[in-house]
A and B are shown apart, each in its own frame.
Chain A
C-alpha cells in the first residue's frame, strides 16, 4: 500500500434530519483545502439524486448509494461502496484519499453506519470511525427532537453538533433548542454554522483516536463539564430525570469514581448492560482510571457498539478520577449507578453533565 494512505482511514459520518443543512455543511467543508484528499459517499434518496446535484465536488471519488435509506442497506450497499473505494484506491484507480465522509439520509439512525465500519471484516482493517457530525436546524430542530427518535439518536451519537439556520430562527427559540441539545448530549462540541467560523479541523480533528497522542485533546473530546450534584439536588427541580427538562425520558448524566476501576469487572458489567439495554444507551463516553495503569483510558460507545478503548499518553489535567457520561433513554440513572457500584465494588458519585 502507498505510504500516503493511512493505516486506518478515518470515516466521518455527517448526519442530521431532513433539511437540516447536511449538504450545505458538506459543501462548506469540501471547500477547505485540507479536505482535498477526502472521498465522499452520499446517499441518493428517491429518483432524483438531489444531494448529488447540490454537491459541488462530485468526481470519480463520489459513489452514489442507489437504494434510498442507508439504514436498511447498510451491510450491503454501504459496505460494498466502501470496499469498492478501498479496492480502487489500492489499485491506484482513484487518488489516494486519506479520509472518507459519508452523508447519511435524514431519517437514518446513525448506528448501522458505525457498525458497518466497526464490524465488516474487510472494512475494519482499513478504516476507523472518526467524529460523527450532526446538523440540527434552529427553526425545526425542537420539533424533530420531539417527534422523531432518529433525530435524538443522531444528536446523541454526535461528537460535533452544528446548529444551522440560526440567522433565520427566532433567537429565543434557538436558545431553548441549544439548551435542549446540551441537555441531551453535553459531551459534543456545539458550533453555529451562521455565526461561528470553524474549519474542517475543528469538525474532524480531535477524535477519539487522536487522544492517544494528544492528552490535552481529551478536554475537547470530553467537552462536558461535570458539575457534581448536591445530594438534595438529586431530588430537586433540576433533577436530570425530570421529563420536562429533557423530554421523552432522555437523560444525560455522569458518574464519577474516586477509586481506581478494575478493567475486567468493568468489561463484564458494560457488556452485560449493553447486551440487554444497548438500544436505550444512546451514548457512553468516559475517561477511566484503571487499576494497574498509570495513564487514563478513554472509552466510547454508541448503543450496542463500543469502540476500541484508547490509552491516553497522559492525564489531561490534575483530576485523576474516572468520569463516565451516559446518555440514556428510558433507563433510570439510579439503577445504573447501583448496578455499577455492586458489580465493581466502588461507589459512584452522580454529577450533572453540563456542556
Chain B
C-alpha cells in the first residue's frame, strides 16, 4: 500500500473532502455527507460486482468490503478500497481492463 491512501490519516481523503453540494468546504452537513457516502457505495458497487465484491457503509465512518463467501475487510476510503479489493480477489482491479469495461457497458 502506498502511504497516500490516507489510512493513517483518517477521513481527509480527497474524494471526501469535497461534496457535490458544497465542494471545497468540508461537507459538514450530515445529510449531504450521508447521502454522498451512500452514492459512493452505490457507484463503487456497480464496479465491485464485476469482482463479486460488495461494499457497505459502516456507521458513516468507515466501509466494509465483503467477498461472496463472507470474508470482510474494513476500508477507510476509495484509495484503500482498491488495494484491499485486489488482496481479497487476488487479481488486479484495473479500470482499463476491456473485460470490465464491456461488462459495465452491457449492464448499464
* Chain A residues engaging chain B, CB cutoff 8 angstroms: 75, 115, 118-119, 121, 124, 212, 262-265, 267-269, 271-278, 290-293, 297, 304-311, 331-332, 335-336, 338-339, 342-343, 345
Chain B residues within an 8 Å CB radius of A343: 47, 95, 104
Q: How many B residues touch A, CB cutoff 8 Å?
A: 39
B68 interfacial by beta-carbon distance below 8 Å = no
Closest to B37 in A: A264
Contact sample, A vs B, 13 pairs, CB 8 Å cutoff = A119-B8, A119-B9, A124-B9, A262-B20, A268-B47, A269-B95, A272-B78, A273-B96, A276-B93, A290-B20, A291-B20, A297-B23, A309-B17
Q: Residue on B with the closest CB to A296? A: B23
CA gap between A310 and B25 in the complex, in Å: 9
A201 to B64, CA, bound (A): 46
Taking a contact as CB atoms closer than 8 A, the residue among A212, A268, A335, A336 that contacts B24 in the complex is A212
- The DSSP consensus for interface residues of chain A is helix
Query: Are B20 and A115 neighbours in the complex by a CB distance under 8 Å?
Result: no
Which of A264, A268, A304 is within 8 Å of B2, CB to CB? A304
**Residues in B27-74 with C-beta less than 8 Å from chain A:** 36, 39-40, 43-44, 47
- In the docked arrangement, what's the CA distance between A277 and B86, Å? 13
Tell me the complex Cα distance, A332–B83, Å. Answer: 22
* A269-B96 Cα distance, complex, nearest whole Å: 10
B residues less than 8 Å from A262 (CB atoms) = 20, 43
- Quick check: is B99 within 8 A (CB to CB) of the other chain? no
- Chain B residue nearest in CB terms to A312: B24
Query: Given A268-B47, A342-B105, are A309 and B23 neighbors across the interface (CB < 8 Å)?
Result: yes
**Residues of B that sit less than 8 Å from A by CB:** 2-4, 6, 8-9, 12, 14-15, 17-21, 23-25, 36, 39-40, 43-44, 47, 77-79, 81-83, 86, 92-96, 101, 104-105, 108
In contact, A339 and B101 (Cβ under 8 angstroms) = yes
Cβ B79 vs Cβ A265 within 8 A? no
Verify B18–A263 contact, CB threshold 8 A: yes
**Distance of A346 from chain B, by nearest CB (Å):** 12
Interface of B is mostly: loop
Q: Per a CB cutoff under 8 Å, which of B9, B12, B78 touches A267?
A: B78
Nearest B residue (CB) for A331: B96
CA of A268 to CA of B23 in the docked complex: distance in angstroms? Answer: 16
Bound form: Cα–Cα A271–B12 in Å? 14
Q: Which of A75, A269, A273, A276 has the most chain B CB atoms inside 10 A of its CB?
A: A276
| Contact of A297 with B43 in the complex, beta carbons under 8 Å | no
**B39 with A264: CB separation less than 8 A:** yes
B108 x A309 contact (CB < 8 A):
no
Known: A115-B4, A265-B43, A290-B23. A276 touches B18 (CB 8 A): no
Contact of A119 among B6, B92, B93 (CB under 8 A): B6
Interchain residue pairs A-B with the least CB separation, the first 5: A311-B24, A267-B15, A275-B82, A271-B78, A292-B20
Give every chain B residue within 8 A of A290 (Cβ-Cβ).
20, 23
* CA gap between A200 and B58 in the complex, in Å: 48
> How far is it, in angstroms, between the C-alpha of A137 and the C-alpha of B77 when the chains are bound?
41
Is the Cβ of B79 less than 8 Å from the Cβ of A274? Answer: yes
Residues of B within 8 A of A273 (CB): 95-96
Interface pair B43/A275, CB less than 8 Å apart: no
Whole-angstrom distance between the Cβ of A53 and the nearest chain B Cβ? 34
Chain A nearest CB: distance from B24 CB in Å?
Answer: 2
User: Are A293 and B20 touching (Cβ within 8 A)?
Assistant: yes
Beyond A291-B20, A309-B23, A339-B101, whether A115 also contacts B3 by CB under 8 A is: yes
Given A264-B39, A271-B15; A339-B9 close (CB under 8 Å): no
